[in-house]
Structure formats: structure tokens, C-alpha cells
Amino acid sequence: MIDLFVLVIDRDGAASGNADRAARAAALQEKLVATCATEEIEAWMLAIFAPELEQSWPAIRATLKVSDSIATPFLAQRGWISGPGAGRSRATRELGKRWSAVQNLCPEIRALKSTIERAIASSGA
């Protein structure tokens, strides 16, 4: 049985932002936990490596197609691009060690964590 389903909506490089996506996600909150990535989800992956990246974190967050312009070259540079998820699987292995940093760099992750905690608390789990 599934106790909680989390849906993360990728911005997918859309210049229009997340207003429409966020409204649709909010309408579903009673049935599932949903959020929108401020930019492409690959930015969350890159947050794991923020101190090692050439670009500043604000510049990465402002990049519209972060997957194509930053994440893919970063994964290729590490030699991970041919692995599962085009290297994303390998890159996210570090998440457990750097979870606090990701939460600090990505306020939508902090908000999602709080939403999940509230959903769990209200379900009595």
C-alpha cells in the first residue's frame, strides 16, 4: 500500500515559469503531495555539487535549460553520462551526505519536506 505519493513537476525549461503548474499541483494537495521545481529538476542534482561547479549558484538557478547547458556537460566531465539516467543516478548517490546543503540551496525542497512532514503527521503514520 502506498501511504504517500510525491509528484514533482519539472519546469522543463519553460520560460513562462511555474504559475500554471503550481496552481494545478495545489489543487491536488488533498490527494497527493505535489510541488514544482523552480527550474529543471537537474538543478536539485547540481545542488549536491554546488561548491565544485564553475558557475555561481544564483547563475545556475537563473539558467532556463539547466539540464542541457550545465547538468549534461557536468555529468560528461565526470565520466558518468553513459550510466543509468545519463549519469543522474550516479550523481545522486551523494545526496544522503549533502542533503542539508541541497535544502539550504533549494527553498522548494525545504517546502516540500515540510509538506511531506505535515501529510505524514496528519495521516497518523
- Model confidence pLDDT, tens digit, residues 26-81: 666 666 776 777 777 888 899 999 999 999 999 999 888 899 999 999 999 999 99
DSSP state of 90: H
> Distance (Å, rounded) from C-alpha 40 to C-alpha 117?
24
Q: How many CA atoms lie within 13 A of 116 on its CB side?
A: 14
Q: Grid coordinates 564553475 are at which residue?
A: 54
pTM exceeds 0.85 for this model: no
Q: How many CA atoms lie within 13 A of 106 on its CB side?
A: 28
Q: If pLDDT is split at 50, 70 and 90, which confidence band does 25 have?
A: low
**Of 121 and 60, more confident:** 60
